[in-house]
Structure 1
Amino acid sequence: MTQHRQTSPEHNAKPGSAKPGSAAAKAARGPFSLKYIAKALGPGLITGASDDDPSGIGTYSQAGAQLGYGIGWTMLLTFPLMVAIQEISARVGRVTGHGISGNVCRHYPPWLLVVVVALLFIANTINIAADLAAMADASKLLVGGPAILYVVLFGVTSVAAQIFMDYKRYVAVLKWLTLSLFAYVAALAFAKVSWGEALAGALVPRFTWSADYFTTIVAIFGTTISPYLFFWQASQEAEEQRIDARKHPLIERHYGARQEFSRIRADTVVGMAFSNLIALSIIVTAAATLHAAGKTDIQTSAQAAEALRPIAGPFAEVIFALGIVGTGLLAIPVLGGATAYAVGEAGRWSVGLARKPKEAIAFYSVLALSGAIGIALNFTPINPISALYWSAVVNGVLAIPVMVLLMVMARRKDVMGHFVIGGWLYWLGWLSTGAMALSVIAMGVGLLF
């Protein structure tokens, strides 16, 4: 665990000070036991699973189709970088009791807050539109019917569930939806995988000096390390603390910090590992089927599902398509929720999915507006999939200042109190920031030349 300042009360607490049978005592006995991890899984698991949204599935499918097994190593590279930046985000939320926007509005100039939140709103809304389009195409493959009908159905259902469902029940539904991603592990059973080549591709980086190769690398970085994930996990940690009468921001009440940080780490590591396992499964499936058959022109996740039918059989197509719908139902609430938290905290409104609609009208209005615009974009001549490219550009550009803000914030004692982040976690966070910056620079060079 990252070491915080020695003056922290956590260092002065007696080892036996936790009450027998309390959650803290149980955590102290075994913070990484299976039972403890199962209970701890929450914001990190949902964040990691939502990272594999339909647009992300399209990116991984395209990567595997174009470049084969040799691109699998990117999943091992991005895993520690994702864990670091997401754990830091979660710690900021848990320590301060505020999400990223809430902390930016308290410690940084207003103009910076407006720029960051506006870009996040635009990028997330376009992403919602693209995900709805992919889910609609997948549903059309499965049962037929007009795609636009599915766009409206999925969009309205996702927004209504966030507004009207009980928070604890809603979070439980999101956790169950993460199981839909195992469809992509199941899809491997229908692919004739060369496991030797797949293992080599995952463990040994292979570079091809071409514009397409580096564009794919940039797309993978932009898909795995996205700003909305930082905002969502930090805000969810603050939300979990708000609805639990036993919890307080750690900066106000230090007791239990070690156990909370252990929980956050377990949650984040499992969530990001799950995310990367699914992404790697998609890449390997596409490499073993589409790339091996010479089908390299895959632009969307729905196209990937359809292309699997003649190669891997109808069951593979169905499994792939069902996974697209399931992960979309998981990702859209996270995208809309991250947007509402960011805007709401920036305005210092009452925020939180645990609040009743009448208690947080402005917060839920932003959530509904983002979802409504996402639905509406599918009725315009704008191609949501093409728009997703520019969303990725915005996300990539936005990620760097947000990550820099997050890293600086994590070291400010007026923000984090005794729990400023240091050690290997801090430097791995900066490494993640640097890697993201290099990917955006590479993307810029690719656009220019």
Structure 2
Amino acid sequence: MTSSSHLEQLAEIELQKEEEEDEEERRRGPDPSSLPAGGPSGLDSSHPYYDVARHGIIQVSGDDKYGRKLIVFSSCCLPPSHQLNHRRLLEYLKFTLDQYVEMDYILVYFHYGLRSSNKPSLKWLREAYGEFDRKYKKNLKSLYVVHPTNFIRIVWNIFKPLISHKFGRKLTYVNYLAELRDHLNYEQLVVPPDVLRHDEKLRAAQKGGPPPSVKTPPPRPPLPTQQFGVSLHYIREKNREDIVPLVIRQTVSYLMDEGLRTEGIFRRSARVQLIKDVQKLYNLGKPVDFERFGDVHVPAVILKTFLRELPEPLLTFRVYNAVRDLLDVESSLRVSSCKQIVESLPEHNFIITKFLLSFLHTVSQQSIVNKMSASNLACVFGVNLVWPRHGSISLGALTPINIFTEILIEHFHAVFGSRCPPAQLSRLKRFTDSQTSQSL
């Protein structure tokens, strides 16, 4: 049997080989100083782990298609070891995960860029794995290792005696970035430029040249009954009688009856295939009966999925900058500032937002039982209500988005009290009253 120390030596040899190959490639490639720098933009220097967070090693990239939080670790962002306290790195990783481990989440590890000069020691890795107890492991649904090398496989063998079979099944090796599209919402990932360039190099080298281009058929026009992946305007045009989209109405109605006292509601995912089946039913205009699934988390995930698949967020692209700048507003003025942002929404978006936030406020009122306070709900829903027109949500924007959403939920009556003209309010009241009577 190969000893652990021998495996460690093999790992070091493999890593040195990889470094030599990368160095040769860099000599032929562009000057690194001319390339865009990494790191999260807009990060506040008052962040408790600013010394680590500023490098952009760990990023939270919103949710995947099924409501699971995406957390990314990028080796290429690791500075030389003498410039980074790896104990602090471990504490920061736990600090980040602590905000999400009560809900299902996914880890994406970009291996490219790990070198002898910046890699944590194997002793550090052992300590890290030892400190990640069950609370971190139980809700980790998948660990994707992107661009694995022999070094990774050797290290995995070193750790095999420590890793449970159940945890081992969560590991997936991903050779090319394109493969990630089969597993998660690739557009929400924060992929460092170095990793993108490395992926292009690998694909070009595949079979001696660039892979043949695959002609994708033009997208089919949406069905008249389509609910997912189409705009609110499209849904309204096809369903003139529905002020609030069918998916939101039905999920909220069911959850009002069955989900308010469910601990961790909106934190859990559901079977991926089941979610796809429900989406298909909605898109085909067929009835959906949540009772037959026997799982309150199905409508919860469907609601989040609907919001996330809107081409433009419910709160529209134009409010993103105002929300991102919320931290610059004095604390005592933030509620009125949020009210102004919400009042700037188009009428249709405002009505739907008011309906949804009224429900989330009700959920938060049951937080003693369901453990979903306004703050917890904001962590789940914030990234599903507002995002930028281009690119992903930066780490620096995540905090103001969550604060903004928490204010909308906690101070619902102050924020939404007086926006609609009487005719609109009357229409909304009739609608919500009808939903209440149907649920009764």
- State the TM-score, normalized to the length of structure 1: 0.24
Higher relative CO (Cα under 8 Å, sequence separation at least 6) belongs to: 1
Q: Which structure has the greater CA radius of gyration?
A: 2
Say which structure is richer in helix. Answer: 1
- State the TM-score, normalized to the length of structure 2: 0.24
Say which structure is richer in strand. Answer: 2
